[in-house]
Amino acid sequence: MDRQEQYRNRAEQVLLHTYSRFPVVIERGQGVYLYDTEGRAYLDFGAGIAVSALGYGDADYEKALVSQIGKVIHTSNLYYHIPGIEAGEKFLKASGMDRVFFTNSGAEAVEGAIKAARKYGKKKYGQERYEVIAMEHSFHGRTIGALSVTGNEKYQEPFRPLMGGVRFAAFNDLDSVKKAVSEKTCGIIVETIQGEGGIYPASQEFLEGLKELCVQEDILLIFDEIQCGMGRTGTMFAWQGYGVKPDIMTSAKALGCGVPVGAFAMTEKTAAFSLEAGDHGTTYGGNPFACAAVSKVFDRYEQLGILEHVRKVGPYLEARLEELVSQYGCLKERRGTGLMQGVEAAGIPAGEIINRALDQGLLLLSAGNNSIRFVPPLVIETVHIDKMVKILHNCLKELG
């Protein structure tokens, strides 16, 4: 039994079996590579599920974390602290929102957004205004509230009954949303680009139509930017690329670049009728350590010109993937924006390609609809994209 196998066996003895993990024990990372316990390098096109935007070993980011550890890691939200102020200011500046609440995860950000929308509806229109419209094939997280707005039968089924007052509509189908709207609707939640569902960008008309509908009916438009936000599409938040501003938005994943942190934010107009003192809370959420990470992430994005970089390498990745799709019959379609791309496989399981890529030192993720998902660190360079494509060529040739 080799060393990695021993580690894997130990893991399987203690951890709840909620994941089928890849058979690799990761020990460290540098740049856009991860290394296993045997020193094998893996080119990382998954970034820990779209989290590690700065890659691994960014000295400035690490220095900021260490420095904050030396001061104070946690205070609770009963006191003010400087990292919280700075992270909040930078988040609002980047998003154009007016109020932010930091959470520990994406799911909690979604919970907060749902609560904020319900509070708004009830405070302004009375007890019956509590329904949320969500999209089919969406993903918003695994807690009961977030799961209740996640349009995936497989994820929902074992946990029913879920939170009530949720209606589903078809993504990119405005008429379907309109049919679901009633006097009871307080919010519409939508991923600007569906991630787990298979990398499906919202259409311009859909988001514009939703906005118009929401303004007309005073329904809150909630964009879940947990995966597609933080620069992944070449704007800080994907909705900025559409020019359609939500009333509430969520963030997480790359927000802390690995330190667990999320956020939900809203406009002042929303906040005026929404969560008040005592309505919501968290013990750790937005603690000094998490906020020091967020604050430094925004600094590094600026210093490294991350958005410009994504706008440069994103189209290159897109073009190289298009080339693959045109060459192999087992690849059906490319979808996505910037460094959030998906390629749908046909005739063979996407997982088969992904497993072969792993054997050749390339980390990829799957997504819904039998797709391969490409969400690399945002500091990825064209040479890494070339290398990734070369490995994929090898895998696809093997598969015939």
Ligand X SMILES: *Cc1c(COP(=O)(O)O)cnc(C)c1O
Nearest approach, Cβ of residue 253 and ligand X (Å): 6
- Which listed residue (106, 112, 246, 338) binds ligand X by CB under 6 A? 106
- Which listed residue (34, 97, 252, 297) binds ligand X by CB under 6 A? 252
> Which one of 188-196, 198-206, 359-367, 373-381 is the stretch in contact with ligand X (CB under 6 A)?
188-196
- Which listed residue (195, 234, 338, 376) binds ligand X by CB under 6 A? 195
Closer of 44 and 224 to ligand X (Cβ): 224
* Residue number, nearest CB to ligand X: 106
Is there binding between residue 137 and ligand X (CB under 6 A)? no
Is there binding between residue 379 and ligand X (CB under 6 A)? no
Is there binding between residue 227 and ligand X (CB under 6 A)? yes
Closer of 227 and 233 to ligand X (Cβ): 227
- Which listed residue (32, 54, 110, 248) binds ligand X by CB under 6 A? 110
- Which listed residue (54, 64, 100, 107) binds ligand X by CB under 6 A? 107
Is there binding between residue 263 and ligand X (CB under 6 A)? no
Is there binding between residue 186 and ligand X (CB under 6 A)? no
Is there binding between residue 147 and ligand X (CB under 6 A)? no
Instruction: Convert the chain into a string of H (helix), E (strand) and C (coil).
Output: CCHHHHHHHHHHHHCCCCCCCCCCCEEEEEECEEEECCCCEEEECCHHHHCCCCCECCHHHHHHHHHHHHHCCCCCCCCCCHHHHHHHHHHHHHHCCCEEEEECCHHHHHHHHHHHHHHHHHHHHCCCCCEEEEEECCCCCCCHHHHHCCECHHHHHHHCCCCCCEEEECCCCHHHHHHHCCCCEEEEEEECEECCCCCEECCHHHHHHHHHHHHHHCCEEEEECCCCCCCCCCCCCHHHHHCCCCCEEEECHHHCECECCEEEEECHHHHCCCCCCCCCCCCCCCCHHHHHHHHHHHHHHHHHCHHHHHHHHHHHHHHHHHHHHHHCCCEEEEEEECCEEEEEECCCCHHHHHHHHHHCCEECEEECCCEEEECCCCCCCHHHHHHHHHHHHHHHHHHC
- Which listed residue (226, 230, 254, 354) binds ligand X by CB under 6 A? 226
> Which one of 12-20, 134-142, 300-308, 389-397 is the stretch in contact with ligand X (CB under 6 A)?
134-142
Closer of 99 and 232 to ligand X (Cβ): 232
Is there binding between residue 140 and ligand X (CB under 6 A)? yes
Closer of 195 and 241 to ligand X (Cβ): 195
Is there binding between residue 141 and ligand X (CB under 6 A)? yes
Q: Which residues sit at the interface with ligand X, rule CB under 6 A?
A: 105-107, 110, 139-141, 191, 195-196, 224, 226-227, 252-253
